[in-house]
Amino acid sequence: MALNYISIGEKIKAIRKRKGFSQLALSELIDRSPTYISYIEGGIKSMSLDTFILLVNALNTTADELLMDNLKNTIKVSNHEFAELLSDCSDYEKRIMFDVVTATKKSIRENRYYIRTRW
């Protein structure tokens, strides 16, 4: 199975932006050029394992988060992303999100039959 470098690059870009780094700032952290960062984010160039590890550490993320679309078992990544999503929420926001997720889960399970029969 070939790696999807476009997907990896998109994840790097999204995390970089979420962390508030410019391509220049990230490139300085890992001692690579901003152009090289741009190529990686666009999936134009692949990177060495050394560069991958530098990026993971500089972005304070996990390798599995960047590789998620290339992995079969992604539940740990999803749990990590969900925990990060909730990390800056107030108790009120967490309660609302819990209610929304609970209602969504209930609706999905109640309407499974309709999804199966439509396809």
**Which CB contacts under 8 angstroms, 24+ apart, belong to 62-71?**
65/11, 65/15, 66/8, 66/11, 66/12, 66/15, 67/3, 67/8, 68/11, 69/4, 69/7, 69/8, 69/11, 70/1, 70/3, 70/4, 70/7, 70/8
Q: Does residue 113 or residue 90 have the better pLDDT? A: 90
pLDDT tens digits for range 65-87: 888 877 776 666 677 778 888 88
Q: Which domains does the chain have, with CATH numbers?
A: 5-71 (1.10.260.40)
